Amino acid sequence: MAEIEQKQVGKKGKKKGPKKMSTRIDLTPMVDLGFLLVTFFMLTTTFSKPQTMEINLPVKPKGEVTQDQENALKASKALTILIGKDNKLYWYLGLATAPIEGLSETNFSADGIRKVLLEKNGTIKNMVVLIKPTNDAIYRNIVDILDEMNISNIKRYALVDITPEELDLIKKYKG
């Protein structure tokens, strides 16, 4: 560890004075200890777990399924959310197959889409939310709307392609 070397300082033949001690510290064991500590902390730490969103995919029913059975969603139980550019959201009740009426614009705030989702979930039993992002929508907006589904306790929702009619409706929307 530490070693004390004794050297006599001064010239030969002169009066001997007090002996001066010179110290030299060996740091080799300290380096070993440092590596042991680094290894210990690396092996005992818990690494952060990746945060993922749990998405349950639908299970295909056995047997032959027709296209009408697959798309058997009632317009009265559907709420459609359109995600546009510049963080804008549009919503209406029903499906795109019927004439679209009552398009409304909202935002991602608690008084925006969350209020709409909570209100409609309370009034419409077994509601299904159809989320339709445009090509101008950003990824963060899609993640935000999926978070709103969890916050609002919406159990049934789907990401669906937007129709050309809905794109025209967004372009014509005046507010």
Which pLDDT score is estimated for 39? 93
> Of the candidates 57, 78, 92, 81, which has an alpha carbon nearest to the alpha carbon of residue 125?
78
Answer whether residue 60 is part of any domain. Answer: no
Which pLDDT score is estimated for 38? 94
Which pLDDT score is estimated for 83? 92
Domain residues for the domain of 120 are: 74-172
Does 103 lie in the same domain as 151? Answer: yes
User: Which residues are within 8 A (CB) of 131 and not within 5 positions of it... i.e. 6 or more apart?
Assistant: 81, 83, 142, 145, 146, 157, 158, 159, 160
* Residue range 156-173: mean pLDDT, rounded: 86
Does 39 lie in the same domain as 83? Answer: no
H or E segment to which residue 3 belongs:
strand 2-7
Does 30 lie in the same domain as 84? Answer: no
pLDDT digits (tens, 9 = 90+) for 60-112: 667 665 555 545 667 778 888 999 888 889 988 888 776 677 888 888 888 88
- State the Cα–Cα distance between residues 124 and 127, nearest whole angstrom: 6
Does 153 lie in the same domain as 114? Answer: yes
Answer whether residue 58 is part of any domain. Answer: no
Say if residue 21's pLDDT is above 80. Answer: no
pLDDT band for position 10 (cuts 50, 70, 90): low
